[in-house]
Amino acid sequence: MKNKTSFPPQEGEARPSRCPDNSAFKQQKLPAWKPQLTIATVLSSFFLTGAFCLLVGVCLILSANSVREIQIDYSDKCSECSKLRENSSNWNKECHCSINFALKEGILGDVFMYYGLQNFYQNHRRYVISRSDAQLLGRNANIQKSYCAPFTTYRNGTPMAPCGAIANSMFNDTIDLFYNLNSSVIQVPLLKTGNSWWTDKNVKFRNPESYNLSSAFAGTARPPYWQKPVYLLDEEDERNNGYINDDFIIWMRVSAFATFRNLYRRVKRIRQFADGLPAGNYTFRISYNFPVTKFKGRKHVILSTVVWSGGSNPFLGIAYVVTGTAATLAGFVITAIHLKLRKKKTYFQK
């Protein structure tokens, strides 16, 4: 550093030139693409987007309209049961309720049965975190460390399995569908498995390892609102019992909004129902266990088909049509303004 004194450098003193490199990067001359907002690009982007959106929007609306959907609000229709459930001391009293409806035309194709809840804040922060994923993986996890409180243990120290507010509040109505054909009543065959995501069923939920399920859950107790312990959720199917019960798994995938629907059953396409649900009279027979009146909630049962774009929600279709129209109109406005301005010289005068 001696040579950096305030005196001029000695002649003959060898020193590398301090001239900066002549690289494109250092001289800020990197080759570059310089897109400009020209009238051509702007108008083409508006018109092309407009056309595309209109096209997609029309397709979406058409396909959403082709979805057949029957939604029945049964929170009022089963008012007796609702009242019974308002008093929690009646928790072990059974209450049934039937709802009739008629199909003028048959519903063809795969038919899905959903239960819908309204005003049920599954997306509340404290609700969302109130679970123990480790426990649901069948691990011997310390649920005290999770956010399950206050549904962690009973006073005597017995841990709840599964713990947390989500599990505790599991939807436990039983809904059966009957087809009334010539005064005979046929139960519509429903599939209760294969309704959840593969990853949930096979990765996210696992039962504790043991020789049988009841011993696996020994030393734990059911959540307070449950009528039966977790290992009795589906006594008929070993692979749909315990934590890997589909109804349970679906419930545990909390909804993003306070109004939501969860897949409950699928119509098994056999015999009369091979093409879907034929026209005729049907009855929902509901074992009413899940109280909603206390928090002004509502319950629905929904039968629906699906298309490539999902269910009957027309939002996307309408939004696309509106966007497409707006983009096209804006394109015309821009064209008009541009044509009007073109005569004016906006460039610098040299």
Q: Of residues 97-116, which lie at the interface with another protein (CB under 8 A)?
A: 110, 112, 114, 116
Apex 220 CA angle, 217 and 222, nearest 5: 95
Question: Which CB atom, from 286 or from 292, has the smaller least distance to another protein?
Answer: 292
Edge to edge, the sheet with strand 184-187 lists 96-103, 280-287, 174-181, 184-187
What stretch of H or E contains 191? strand 190-191
Nearest to 85 by CA among 288, 265, 240, 244: 288
Number of residues that bind another protein (CB under 8 A): 105
Q: What is the distance between the alpha carbons of residues 194 and 187, in angstroms, rounded to a whole number?
A: 20
For residue 47, CA distances in Å to 51, 190, 335 come to 6, 48, 11
Among 51, 95, 186, 330, the residue binding another protein under the rule CB under 8 A is 330
Q: Which of residues 109-148 bind another protein (CB under 8 A)?
A: 110, 112, 114, 116, 119-128, 130, 133-134, 137, 139
Tell which one of 193, 214, 255, 287 touches another protein (CB under 8 A): 255
Nearest approach in angstroms of CB 28 to another protein is 6
Whole-angstrom distance, CA of residue 206 vs CA of residue 152? 19
Binding segment for another protein among 41-49, 72-80, 91-99, 155-163 (CB under 8 A)?
41-49
Binders of another protein in range 147-166 (CB under 8 A): 149-150, 165
By CB under 8 A, residue 295 contacts another protein: yes
Residue 227 binding another protein, by CB under 8 A: no
Encoded amino acid at 32, one letter: A
Minimum gap (Å) between residue 6 Cβ and another protein? 5
92 burial type by CB count under 10 A (0-12 exposed, 13-18 middle, 19+ buried): exposed
- For residue 343, CA distances in Å to 36, 287, 332, 334, 346 come to 21, 76, 18, 15, 9
| Binds another protein (CB under 8 A): choice among 207, 240, 304, 328 | 304
Q: Of residues 11, 13, 31, 156, which one binds another protein by CB under 8 A?
A: 31
- For position 329 contacting another protein by CB under 8 A, the verdict is no
Which 43-102 positions form the footprint of another protein (CB under 8 A)? 45-46, 49, 53, 56, 60
Closest CA relative to residue 192, chosen from 228, 227, 244? 244
| SS3 call for 187 | strand
CB of residue 345 to another protein, shortest distance in Å: 9
CB 115 within 8 A of CB 171: yes
Instruction: Tell the smallest beta-carbon distance from residue 22 to another protein (Å).
Output: 6
CB of 25 to another protein, least distance (A): 9
3-22 footprint of another protein as x/- string (CB under 8 A): -xxxxx------x-xxxxxx
Which residues have CB under 8 Å from 296's CB, separation 6+? 119
Coil, strand or helix: which one is 63?
Answer: helix
We find the least distance from the C-beta atom of residue 31 to another protein, in angstroms, to be 7
Selected binder of another protein within 14, 30, 270, 274 (CB under 8 A) = 30
- Minimum CB–partner distance for residue 98 and another protein (Å): 25
Binding to another protein (CB under 8 A) within 258-277 occurs at 258-263, 266
Q: Which two tokens stand for residue 173?
A: 């109505």
Give the distance from CA 74 to its chain's centroid: 23
Site map 165..204 versus another protein, x via CB under 8 A? x--xx-------------------------xxxxxx--xx
The window from 75-83, 174-182, 279-287, 326-334 that contacts another protein (CB under 8 A) reads: 326-334
Backbone φ, ψ for residue 322 (5° rounding): -60, -45
Task: Name the residue nearer to another protein (CB basis): 26 or 96.
Answer: 26
212: phi then psi, degrees, rounded to nearest 5: -140, 170
